[in-house]
A and B are shown apart, each in its own frame.
Chain A
Amino acid sequence: MFDDFFIRALVAGIGVALVTGPLGCFVIWRRLSYFGDTLAHSALLGVTLAFTMEFNIALSVFIISSLIALTLIQLQKRTNLPGDALLGLLAHSSLAVGLVVIGFLTFIRFDIMGLLFGDILAVTVDDLLIIWIGGAIILLILKLIWKPLFASTVNYELAEAEGLNPDRAKAIFTILMAAIIAISIKMVGLLLITGMLIIPAAMARNISTSPQKMVVYSIIGGLLSVILGLFSSLEFNTSSGPSIITAALLLFILSMFKIKQTIKLKN
């Protein structure tokens, strides 16, 4: 069944969308779009290290992204630079270092376009296992920390005062972010992973009245984007990442009509 590359891509994409749906909602609620971007950019360094040391790509990306996240937390404590400047610093320098390292690796042929924008031809059965098992673990952990994470997203002090340990939840969530980037890099490509996190969730925000609904719509939006995107990628011979994200954008635009209606109703 998984012999066909397209089926593999579809199964992989569905696995990714199931996880990016709920995580993406938190990225929006907690205003972490640029944080996600930074982790994704640093993933390139993870990929090159995986190649040099003949190491598993997902694992290597996960480790590097987690290290970058930790570095960010340390820098925030030790410098007076604003958060967005630090994010930019880490994002672009890790991307640059990754590209420089690639330049040295002349003995390996790199599909940089595939790395940056995703490549459905590249998804192997091993990747499927990583996506589905990794994805299941991410969702399970997210469910376990849901209460403290959500409560502290609404109001940190309430969560802290009422004994929910929001700092721990935040640290675990950061690791989950690194993990989702690691497992979805082959599908969506490192430049567009944050889009996969944000755009379906943003679409969902337009049409939902409760946090639970937003998570459900965000998952549905992600699934539709993957299916639509992959079919058009096959049809028009475009990269998988941009195709999926474009599909997500179309869904977002559709959702704007709904929000217009509700605003009219209010007035």
Chain B
Amino acid sequence: MSSNQNILVKLKDAGFKINDKWLVQGVSLQVEKGKIVTLIGPNGSGKSTTAKIALGIYKKIEGAVEKFTNNVGYVPQKISIDWTLPLRVHDFMVLTENLKSETIDEALSLTGVIHLKDKNLGDLSGGEFQRVLLARAISKKPDLLVLDEPVQGVDFTGEIALYELIKKISDELNCGILLISHDLHTVMSATDHVVCLNGHVCCSGSPTDVAKNDEYKALFGEQASQILSRYEHKHDHIHTDEGKIKKN
């Protein structure tokens, strides 16, 4: 496929267990510059665990993980912040890296929360906080972005806009993205590679390949398979001038 220099993180037969219970096992994948790899799978299938293995948060793992960059932006799925800390949005933006004021403003504008810059982090709504988390992760112009359900709690129109933004960032920064999402519709149009997890890798490949896979169908049902195949662009319809769709 592509040369080795482009690989940002590589998992080989990676697994992690707590108290003899495997959270995930035998995962091999790699994220390359400019590519979006999406992890899908039911609840408890090890998506977040896989992300944490890739990030080096879990250290006692089976198999191997190689990370070729330290310039990482991470949006965790769950974040518990202790409100004994007086923390405003822009204090949070410079948490792991010192950034120029313009850079902070730019990132907050991109995710649509620039007006919240001086607000206390504890006063934000779930969706607002999610936008701040995403802004923080992209503001440092990372080589590798790990986004664990980055648009949870974001309103419907915002969700689409943020996914477009993620796609744009991947193109502009040429960074690799490891994305976790359960929203098959929105994600699939932008994804280069899909890994379907269920405690192990049940199948992987391009979105269209995965959609055809029997294990995938068994896991998600026939309907989900149709969602994915929609992105195959079998042109069974034509777009009219008004932007309407006309069946062949």
Contact = CB atoms under 8 A, between A and B. Distances in A.
Contact of A162 (B72, B85, B92): B72
Interface in A147-175: 147, 150-151, 153-155, 157-164
Interface in B63-98: 70-74, 76, 79-82, 84-88, 91-92, 95-97
Contacts of B52: 157, 161
A83 interface: no
Interface residues of B, number: 27
Secondary structure of the A contact surface, majority rule = helix
A214 to B, nearest CB: 6
Contact of B81 (A155, A160, A205, A211): A155
Give the size category of A's interface with B: 20 to 34
B228 interface: no
Contact of A161 (B74, B82, B85): B74
A219 to B, nearest CB: 16
B146 interface: yes
Contacts of B82: 29, 31, 153-154
Contacts of B91: 210-212
A168 to B, nearest CB: 13
B1 interface: no
B56 interface: yes
B18 interface: no
Given A29-B84, A209-B120, A157 B76 contact: yes
B218 interface: no
Interface of A: 28-29, 31, 147, 150-151, 153-155, 157-164, 205, 208-214
Which 8 pairs across A and B sit closest by C-beta, in order of nearness? A163-B70, A161-B55, A161-B74, A162-B96, A151-B95, A160-B57, A151-B96, A162-B72
